[in-house]
Amino acid sequence: MLSTCSAQTVSIDCAKLLVEVSDINPNIQDKLEGDTPLHKALIHCEETEDALVLAQLLLKAGSDPRILNKKGQRALMLVEPEEEDIRRLLLQATLAFESLRNKSKESDVKKNEKESDTGTCSSSD
């Protein structure tokens, strides 16, 4: 539903309403192409400003710009080089996702180390 709204009608108002719904998955991929709503918004928006606003809304709702469609394309790969604001936004979002992923990995490592330190070992003499 989110994909349909952002891609076909390119209605910013519709997208605003949909991203406010808490149980909508902004990373859902369509079965035909594997595109997310972010992919669709960037493919189907004719106006750069509309694409930028939709991308901002979708990213704020949790869209992951790193997701690949069936052609192996991330959302950033669908943006023309001269659309610098959208490219910058997607790059920043990608870095933010990577940073969160790295922090999560570090946290897991520290947790595992802590569990190892508190574990007991018994040895028989």
Characterise 124 by phi-psi region: left (phi > 0), alpha (psi -120 to 50), beta (else). beta
pLDDT at 94: 96
The total number of structural domains in the chain stands at 1
Separation of alpha carbons 9 and 31, rounded Å = 20
Separation of alpha carbons 41 and 3, rounded Å = 8
Residue 118: inside a domain: no
What predicted TM-score, i.e. pTM, was given to this entire model? 0.73
Nearest Cα to 15, choosing from 47, 80, 63? 63
Q: pLDDT for 84-116, tens place per residue?
A: 999 999 999 999 999 887 776 666 656 666 666
Highest mean pLDDT among 77-81, 100-104, 107-111, 118-122: 77-81
Residue 85: inside a domain: no
pLDDT at 7: 46
Report the CATH number that the domain containing residue 67 is assigned in CATH: 1.25.40.20
Mean pLDDT of 30-50: 92
